[in-house]
Structure formats: structure tokens, C-alpha cells
Amino acid sequence: MQLYLLLLIFPLAVARVDPDYGSKFDADVLMRALGVPICIRKCVDPLMTQIASIWDLHNIVQKAKPLCQGHSMAMQCLQRNPSCDVHQIFKTAASAIEKMCGERAPLFEKMRPCLEKHADSAVRTCDAKCKGRSTVSAFLNHPVVVRASKSGGDLIGVAGQVGSLCSVLQCELPCITMELNKVCPLSGWLTLDVLLQPLDFVADKVLNTSPALKEFIEKKLDKRCHFIVTKSELLKLRKGQFKNKY
């Protein structure tokens, strides 16, 4: 379950639309490649559409309200079908949105005027620096991922291709934090707190799992991704101890 969840989180965390790679992020390919059950996909498809509308990096803050509404509808749908997502995998994968729309909403609202003016340019700067959009597009178009999407899903096969996504995430997390802090003080730390929410959950699960499963994850997961399942490394990120300086 931990590996499945990781593979769902990574593309959602770093994906952007890139004009050179098509007009939208193909969430259907991702869902099918991971073998996400159709009942989950029916519930979350509208939310994925809202997420895709943000990936063009224009008017990001203005699109937050529809995103929150889409998240609420998706979660209500899953709650009406409890046997569909027994382990609440998608709830965890989307927990960054839940935190932004719930617990951290009052703080984001205070920063809204500044973020509406400056967030787009800050995020575009990091997208260009970290090559997030092109990397995700390449991942979704990789033969292994495409084949998995057409054959009912291949978790292990897809897992072998996520290293580049982890590299992007390792670049974007500190970059977005620092760039947003430059234009809207403290907003970067607030954003980092939200983005780390699902990763913290997975790291906690890995920390408390069996030695055999830990060994399996360590062997199957690209070394570039190990920092994401290591609690101590995530704590360093929260403290601003970034390997990349901006």
C-alpha cells in the first residue's frame, strides 16, 4: 500500500502543463497505469479536472476555491462508497489539498492578496528551474507507463520510472518555498507545510512497517526517492535545511 500511495503522490506533486508536451496532464494514463479501481476514478475525475486547470500556472490562487470544492465532492463520493477505497489511499494522496482547504485556509486567506499578484511568477520560476512539466510529461509517455495504462496497471514497472519525478520534487520543494517567501513573506513555509502532508504520512507508515517491507521498498524504489520515505529527511526540509540553495 505504501508503494502504491507513493506512486500516486509523486506525479500529483510535481506535474504541470507544458505547451511543448500537450495541452493538459493526462490523469487517466496515470490512474490506469497504477491500476486505480474504476470506482475511485469515477469519484476523483472531477477533482483531477480542477487540478489540471491549475497546471497551466496562470491564476493559481484564483482557482483554489473550485479546487477545494472539487476535493470536497470527491471525498463525499468516496465516503458513499466505503468499500471502494478501504485504505483511504486517495484521501492520503490528496491530503495536501485537504490541509490547504481546511486547517490552513485562514492563513492562506490572509496572504491571498499578495499571492494573487506574485504566486504565478514564483511557481513558473521553479517549474523552469526544476523542469517539472517536461519531466512529468516524459514519465507519462514512457513506454513502460503507457503499456501499464493499457494492460490493467503495473505497479512495480511504474515504480521503476519515478526517479526523475523525485529529483524534480527535491528541486521544487525548496525552490517554491524560497521563491514564495521572497515575494510574500512566510507564504513559502506555509506552502511547504501543505505539500509535505502526504509525504509525512507515507514516511510514518514506512517507519512503522515490517523490516521485510522496508527492505522491499528500499530495493524497488529509486535511490533518488529515498529522501521522501525517510522521516529524518522530511524533518530537515521542514526546518529549511535544503540541499539546494536559492
Reported as a single tens digit per residue, the pLDDT across 72-92 is 999 999 999 888 887 788 888
For 26, phi then psi, to 5°, come to -85, 85
Cα–Cα distance for residue pair 190/100, rounded to 1 Å: 9
Burial class of residue 246 (count of CB atoms within 10 Å of its CB; 0-12, 13-18, 19+):
middle
146 vs 9, higher pLDDT: 146
State mean pLDDT over 64-75.
Answer: 91
The percentage of residues in the chain with a pLDDT greater than 90, rounded to a whole number, is 37
Q: Kindly report the pTM of this predicted structure.
A: 0.84
Over residues 172-186, the mean pLDDT reads: 95
pLDDT at position 86 is 78
At 19 the pLDDT is 37
pLDDT given for residue 15 in this prediction: 45
Show the cell assigned to 161. Answer: 520510472
Q: How far apart are CA 124 and CA 122, in angstroms?
A: 5
Q: CA dist 158 to 141, 170, 244, Å?
A: 11, 19, 27
Task: Tell me how far CA of residue 217 lies from CA of 14, 191, 199, 200, 205, in angstroms.
Answer: 21, 28, 15, 16, 12
| pLDDT level of residue 20 (50, 70, 90 thresholds) | very low
- If you average pLDDT over residues 43-47, what whole number do you get? 86
